[in-house]
Amino acid sequence: MLTEKEKRDLYEIIEFTIGRDTSIQRNISSFNERTVLAVEEMLNEISRCNGSMKELIVNLVSGSSILAKGWLKRSLNEFNRMLKYKQAALNGYGCMVSVKSYWKNAIIVTTI
């Protein structure tokens, strides 16, 4: 179960990566472990097309090039803080658009 702070951090990560979305925002109170895993998969996908995101994730998980499932849950607050700090370097518009088209619905489905 996620704390209210973890849910807020998770939404801020989602908002940063795919933009503000009222349909996702309405479901913040229903965020759960499945939502974290979906966002983690989304971030892994973004890291394949955005070198800056990949670098941020690898640095966060102590230099490991292999991401173990569950890395985001263990570092929600830290990852959210790092995203805010490095925001300008991570804006890869083409990458974000292609990711949003798939992951928005996948995130919403986890809250049902």
Tokens 């849950």 found at: 73
Q: Check: pTM over 0.85? Answer yes or no.
A: no
Domain range enclosing 44: 4-110
For the chain, what is the domain count?
1
From first to last of the 112 residues of the chain, give the pLDDT tens digit: 899 999 999 999 999 888 888 999 999 999 999 999 999 999 888 887 777 777 777 777 665 545 677 878 888 888 888 777 766 455 566 676 777 778 899 999 999 9
**Number of other residues whose CB lies within 10 A of the CB of residue 36:** 21
